[in-house]
């Protein structure tokens, strides 16, 4: 770490440059900007704000003391304005966020909240994808119609934040195998996958089906 900035390991830097992922490399230059106590309905947390190499701000909520030896209960959550804040029933994002905060509030751990709206395509493009879904496309088809990958998120940012907090081993609250791989690529050991499947909204049935069948999320039948 140099001047508060956590860098990728040299081997990862070479790998990212080799495959032309310079934006991902820049996103992993994470700097700690601020922290304070945050009382919530889930308990009292420490809130940390980080800035990546593209000047995007990301947040970590920490409950209790994080141990270097014991796996921390962790959730890496990507921003979803419509689900997390506005109560949209098109997705399960808000449900997962609240369930994760409840578990971490009781057991201790960390929730990393990444500014990666719309699986990494941004809010305006996500709403364009919603418009295509209104015409019958599913979430994957809509993203691809707009010229994006089915999932454009970058978990190296979350891994860098965890490392900054001194966390190297986690029990990960997720149903997404890609998230596990992304964190492992960032030198975070995932000791256990903890399923996170709150009851879904009826209106999100098609979305949940696409997540399971096309994105490989482990949601059962």
Rg, the chain, Cα only: 17
* Alpha helix stretches (DSSP H) within the chain: 10-18, 22-27, 93-107, 117-120, 123-134, 139-145, 156-164, 177-185, 205-213
Degrees to nearest 5, angle at CA 144 with 217 and 128: 100
List strands edge to edge, sheet with 72-78: 5-6, 30-40, 43-51, 57-63, 109-114, 72-78, 169-173, 189-194
C-beta atoms surrounding 35 within 10 Å: 13
Burial (CB count <10 Å: 0-12, 13-18, 19+), residue 80 = buried
Selected catalytic residue, list 52, 84, 92, 151: 151
- Angstrom distance (rounded) from CA 105 to CA 44: 8
- Please say if 151 is a catalytic residue: yes
**What is the Cα–Cα distance from 189 to 162, expressed in whole angstroms?**
11
User: Which one is catalytic: 119, 153, 154, 163?
Assistant: 153
β-strand 72-78 against 109-114: which pairing, if any? parallel
List, by residue number, the catalytic residues: 151, 153
């Amino acid at each position: 770490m140099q001047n508060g900035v956590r860098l990728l390991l040299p081997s990862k830097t070479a790998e990212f440059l080799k495959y032309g992922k310079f934006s991902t490399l820049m996103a992993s230059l994470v700097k700690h900007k601020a922290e304070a106590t945050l009382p919530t309905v889930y308990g009292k947390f420490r809130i940390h704000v980080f800035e990546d190499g593209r000047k995007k701000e990301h947040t970590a909520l920490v409950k209790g003391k994080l141990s270097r030896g014991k796996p921390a209960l962790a959730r890496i959550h990507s921003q979803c304005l419509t689900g997390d804040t506005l109560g949209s029933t098109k997705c399960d994002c808000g449900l997962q966020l609240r369930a994760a905060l409840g578990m971490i509030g009781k057991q201790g751990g960390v929730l990393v909240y990444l500014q990666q709206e719309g699986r990494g395509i941004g809010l305006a493009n996500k709403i364009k994808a919603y418009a295509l879904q209104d015409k019958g496309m599913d979430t994957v088809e809509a993203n691809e119609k707009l010229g994006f990958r089915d999932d454009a998120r970058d978990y190296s940012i979350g891994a860098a934040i965890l490392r900054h907090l001194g966390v190297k081993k986690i029990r990960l609250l997720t149903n997404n195998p890609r998230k596990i791989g992304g964190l492992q690529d960032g030198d975070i050991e995932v000791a256990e996958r903890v399923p996170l499947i709150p009851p879904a909204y009826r209106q999100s049935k098609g979305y949940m089906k696409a997540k399971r069948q096309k994105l490989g999320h482990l949601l059962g039948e």
